[in-house]
């Protein structure tokens, strides 16, 4: 960093021009603070981004994977994970507000900042009141890189305890591709049928990728 002219140093650029003027490597360099004996902080930031496949890969990167990058280690890996989580939380709507779910995009916009791009598969539900306003979000199951086990009793236990009139199912695809599998189709049909018996409407099933989603309702499959 000391080899850069003062105006080109990330901290100075941010002060003069705002965070939007900085590149991904410069923003990450500010999170890291300093370099190591083998290189400057910008070099370390570039190595991290290469390892993760760019800034979007940071949301899926495990701390152990980050810690193996030269110049990172466990402490800096934790710094990066904390910065990513803070970024997610800034996109979450204010707690206490009952956000209405009118169309599938409403549910996707609510869920994507929090759950999109996860490294393991999660399955959860949005609990809705009778006007399809969000009561709460609940993660029912967390699985592996490509599989999670979900039972109807677990889904509808959450819905009944939460006094939900309806639910939006959701799960993540760590691959980044939200296209549903045959298992996803079968599970959706099974849960929709269970919802009829339980008196809880299954409004939609949203599959979350990295930056895109698949809605069973939008695609006429629910």
Q: What's residue 20's pLDDT?
A: 78
Q: What's residue 80's pLDDT?
A: 87
E strands, 25-164, in order = 122-128, 134-142
Extract the tokens encoding 197.
Answer: 């018996």
Q: What is the pTM of this model?
A: 0.70
| Mean pLDDT per 10-residue segment, the chain (222 residues) | 56 79 84 73 86 81 85 87 79 68 94 85 94 92 71 91 95 91 93 95 94 94 91
Dihedrals phi, psi of 140, to nearest 5 degrees: -90, -35
Report how far residue 79's alpha carbon sits from residue 179's, in angstroms, rounded to the nearest whole number. Answer: 32
Q: What's residue 58's pLDDT?
A: 82
Report all structural domains of the chain as residue ranges with CATH numbers, in order of start. Answer: 6-90 (1.10.150), 104-215 (3.40.140.10)
Residues with Cβ within 8 Å of 37's Cβ and at least 6 positions away in sequence, in order, are none
Extract the tokens encoding 84.
Answer: 């990513």
Place of tokens 């609510």: 110
Using DSSP's 3-state secondary structure scheme, residue 106 falls into helix
Q: What's residue 147's pLDDT?
A: 61
């Amino acid at each position: 960093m000391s080899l850069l002219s003062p105006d080109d140093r990330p901290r100075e650029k941010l002060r003069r021009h705002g965070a939007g003027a900085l590149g991904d490597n410069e923003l990450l360099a500010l999170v890291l603070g300093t370099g190591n004996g083998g290189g400057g902080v910008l070099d370390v930031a570039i190595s991290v981004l290469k390892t993760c496949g760019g800034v979007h890969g940071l949301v899926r990167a495990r701390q152990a994977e980050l810690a193996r990058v030269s110049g990172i280690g466990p402490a800096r890996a934790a710094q990066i994970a904390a910065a990513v989580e803070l970024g997610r939380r800034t996109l979450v709507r204010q707690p206490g507000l009952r956000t209405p779910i009118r169309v599938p995009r409403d549910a996707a916009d609510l869920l994507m900042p929090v759950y999109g791009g996860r490294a393991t598969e999660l399955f959860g539900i949005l609990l809705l009141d009778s006007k399809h306003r969000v009561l709460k979000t609940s993660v029912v199951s967390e699985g592996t890189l490509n599989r999670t086990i979900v039972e109807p009793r677990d889904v509808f236990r959450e819905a009944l305890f939460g006094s939900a009139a309806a639910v939006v199912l959701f799960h993540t695809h760590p691959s980044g591709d939200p296209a549903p599998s045959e298992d996803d189709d079968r599970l959706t049909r099974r849960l929709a049928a269970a919802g009829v018996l339980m008196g809880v409407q299954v409004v939609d099933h949203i599959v979350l990728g990295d930056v895109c989603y698949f809605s069973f309702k939008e695609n006429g499959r629910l």
